[in-house]
Amino acid sequence: MRENFPVAHPHLPTSIAQRFAHVETWVFDLDNTLYPASSDVWPKIDQRITLFLAELFGLDGMSSRALQKYYYQRYGTTLRGLMTEHEVTAAEFLAFVHDIDRSSLKPDHSLAQGIAKLRGRKLILTNGSREHALRTAERIGIRDLFEDVFDIVAADLLPKPHAETYERFFDLHGVDPTRAAMFEDIAHNLVVPHARGMTTTLVVPRSGDEVEREQWELSSGGEPHVDFVTDDLAAFLEAITRRRTRD
């Protein structure tokens, strides 16, 4: 049953806190999950992707944008589409699109405390690059809290939500999905984790925040593969750990 805790909440009901009592491994998406969807980080990456296509194919901005979104929706990432249809190498693409200014990101002490208090392993699972994840986590002040990053290269360039990507992740890091939790901002990326037994939480934008997202990416979390929904990840984690500490 899905539970909705969209705002900072002083206490999670025992029944909900118990849903996380078995968790030994905490898995987090990166972009728009470990930092707010209202941040300018993802729009900057998005613009770099558009520019990459414009320069590669000699397209105007509008045509490049349309092609980018076509690849993204069909293949899961623009990179996968470019590799499949045009033999573009991952290294050149990832280096270009993640070459952004992250100075707008500030240390998130509340999030850092919430993650630090979680008992067990913490891992990042992202469709982006390892370098991007590490540099972004460093800016937020949470880099040292994670054991490792599983990125698109580790996934053999097959993005979420492909089942093979999750299986590769579980195998590489020795994760028992029935004793793990997944935090993600795109609902369909939680289908496989939920099916494999992970406790899933969808991180949504805060009410009133302006976000640059495709309509098909947005969800209120009503899907059966979403166990919990929150628009305040730091407060959500703090509430879980506060209850677990006292139980």
Q: Please give the structure tokens belonging to residue 223.
A: 């899907």
pLDDT of residue 8: 39
What is the per-residue pLDDT for 10? 42
Query: What local confidence, expressed as pLDDT, does residue 212 receive?
Result: 63
Instruction: Reply yes or no on domain 41-97 having CATH 1.10.150.450.
Output: yes
pTM, full prediction: 0.88
Residue 13 and residue 233 in contact, taking contact as beta carbons nearer than 8 Å: no
Query: For 3-39+105-246, CATH number?
Result: 3.40.50.1000
Per-residue pLDDT of the chain (247 residues; tens, 9 = 90+): 345 554 434 445 556 778 899 999 999 999 999 999 899 999 999 999 999 999 999 999 999 999 998 998 888 889 989 999 998 999 999 999 999 999 999 999 999 999 999 999 999 999 999 999 999 999 999 999 999 999 999 999 999 999 999 999 999 999 999 999 999 999 999 999 999 999 999 999 887 676 666 655 566 678 899 999 999 999 999 888 875 555 5
**Same fold yes or no, 3-39+105-246 and 41-97:** no
| Structural domain spans, the chain | 3-39+105-246, 41-97
